[in-house]
Amino acid sequence: MKKIMKHFIIMCMIGFFVFQVGEAKTIKKVAQTGLQFLKVDMVSRAAAMGGAFTMAGQGAEAIFYNPGALSETNSSMEFFAARTNWISDISYNAIALAKNFGNGGTIGLHAISSDYGEIHGTRVASTTKGFVETGQVNVGAYAVGLSYSRTMTDKFRIGGTVKYASQQLGSNIHEVGGDEITNKVSGLAYDFGAVFYPGLKSVRLGVSIRNFSPQFKYEDTAFELPLTFQIGIAANLFDFLGGFENQSLLLDIDALHPRDYTERVHIGAEYVFHHILALRAGYKTNYDEESLSMGFGVRYAIAGVKLHVDYAYSPMNLFNSVNRITIGGAF
């Protein structure tokens, strides 16, 4: 027990150190990180729980939140596809696949693609006053990643992800009559995570570091990715109350230290009835637009495959509400 606890504490210390090193490179500026799509909740179950998923997520769903929990699965293989209808007619598609190799660990693959809709561009006219239309602006973003997680002991799991992220924001001309410059950046980023079971019923603790990377740079402007350090705790509350057969009430609380904002807290709960129906709700603190969220999920086993469909609804105050749906399975 002491040895495992020591490993977990070391992981937390490494997380804080890595985050501080990353922040030391530049002066901290609110909302100045790029590739913001890497912060969007891609999993409906996670979104419905207010993004409190550092410890709630297991198996393939954990890839986007805590790769240390990727090996938290009893299935040989898991997969899912998700769709997020984001604000301003922006949408995201995500897929993930996890393969369990037993003592050899678990390997995961994931991909995210964006659709920013039609954006029509204009440019200062070179020969006359005013502006000219330049047609549809070519914008988009995507990320693909490879994850690995391993169960070190019955109480400790660890994992990591390496991903390639890219974003293109059209093109521009610095000076009238000058050369056209394409605004595109791409590069590698890394996630790390760990899970620790202290031995108190279903209580589990975790830590994750997401989007650690060197600086990305457009033509003259360098920026950081949305590096985030998270610590979470989760437990099935019915384990402590007793008398609730074939039911569970999962509570997850995450504390976040993002690079581009002050500290935040995510709180989420999930009630599951007879392993079939799940009802979820969550809340995010210290956000301008996001706060309350809710959703549900249905699970059904057929021909040896455990299927699930999840939906999440998130009001966004000044913007349209966000709807998400995820379809997946395990076998």
Q: What is the pLDDT of residues 72-115, one digit of tens each?
A: 988 999 999 999 999 988 999 999 999 999 999 999 999 999 99
Contact 232, 54 (CB under 8 A): yes
- Measured at the CA of 40, the angle between CA 37 and CA 41, to 5 degrees, comes to 145
**Minimum mean pLDDT range among 123-137, 188-202, 281-295:** 123-137
Note the pLDDT of residue 30. Answer: 65
pLDDT per residue as tens digits for the range 143-196: 999 999 999 999 999 999 999 999 998 777 666 556 777 788 999 999 999 999
Contact 257, 223 (CB under 8 A): no
Q: Which domain holds residue 36?
A: 2-330
Q: What average pLDDT does this structure show over 280-303? A: 95
The set of residues, in sequence order, having a beta carbon less than 8 Å from that of 264 and lying 6+ positions away, is: 255, 256, 258, 284, 285, 286, 287
What is the distance between the alpha carbons of residues 321 and 285, in angstroms, rounded to a whole number?
18
Helix, strand or coil for residue 325? strand
How many other CB atoms are found less than 10 A from the CB of residue 221? 11
Total number of domains constituting the chain: 1
Tokens representing 316 are 């966004």
pTM of the model: 0.87
The CATH number linked to 244 is 2.40.160.40
pLDDT band at 124 (very low <50, low <70, confident <90, very high): confident
Exposed/middle/buried for residue 23 (C-beta within 10 Å: 0-12, 13-18, 19+): middle
CA distances 111 to 146, 241, 257, 278, 331, Å, are: 9, 40, 25, 26, 21
**Minimum mean pLDDT range among 24-28, 65-69, 189-193:** 24-28
